[in-house]
A and B are shown apart, each in its own frame.
Chain A
Amino acid sequence: MKNNVKLARLSANITQTDLARKTGITRQTISLIEKGSYNPSLQLCIALAKELGKTLDELFWEVDDQ
């Protein structure tokens, strides 16, 4: 699943390691989510959104480019 987690994390100036620690998961999982190789649970999506100061829409809603 495509998402904006990496962009949001970089703009918030947070490392993968820090985000992983704050959300209680591993850096590998953050990395897989950013790459779209793993679809996180809703619970984890909310935790990521809170840490990054974004809404679920901003992080995960896919808008088709016309």
Chain B
Amino acid sequence: MNSWLTVLLPKDEYKQQRLYQFLAESAVLAVFYFAVMIAASLIWTLDTSLTLLGGLGIVLFYALARYVLSGMEYTEVFTKSDYKKQLKKIIVQTVGFGVLYFVVYSLLSGLPANGTEWLEIGGFFSILLLMYFGIHFMSLRRSYSKNRQALD
């Protein structure tokens, strides 16, 4: 398929086709969302930034969720040993991501000044890392399951 989007997508044609599908579906959802919002704006006063962010959120969240649940991220994970190796990689990546994020955050905003700030930042980081790990873990589980099924 010839599209400027191809440059941004993986070379594998199955992955490409599925990603085109997810992006097209999310675009249709966004059109519906904006149509409803335009109609709603005739009745109520809507916050423009929030409404636009909502549309962007739908597109990104839908495409990401479909991608994660499709099980096509980890295409080479076929055995229990591959699975365990990849899981270890994800754990290391999560820790690395946390450290990098904390360093960048500290450089930009400075270190927390007191216990309350540490607690706030700790909570925020915990949620962030849990989400990062959760998304990758779910993707790995789905990929492994899909790959095993394709072998049966």
A60 located at the interface, meaning its Cβ lies under 8 Å from any Cβ of chain B in the complex? no
For the residues of B in contact with A, the DSSP-based class is: helix
A3 located at the interface, meaning its Cβ lies under 8 Å from any Cβ of chain B in the complex? no
Q: Tell me the count of chain B residues lying within 8 A, CB to CB, of chain A.
A: 14
For the residues of A in contact with B, the DSSP-based class is: helix
- Contact string, B128-152, partner A, CB cutoff 8 A, digits 1/0? 0000000000000001001100110
Most chain A beta carbons < 10 A, residue from B11, B12, B14, B147:
B14
Binding site for B on A (CB under 8 A): 17, 24-29, 31-32, 34-35, 37-38, 40-41, 44
Binding site for A on B (CB under 8 A): 11-15, 72, 75-76, 78, 143, 146-147, 150-151
A-B contact pairs, 18 of them (CB 8 A): A17-B76, A24-B11, A25-B11, A25-B14, A26-B14, A26-B15, A27-B78, A27-B147, A28-B75, A28-B143, A28-B147, A28-B150, A29-B15, A29-B75, A31-B147, A38-B14, A40-B13, A44-B13
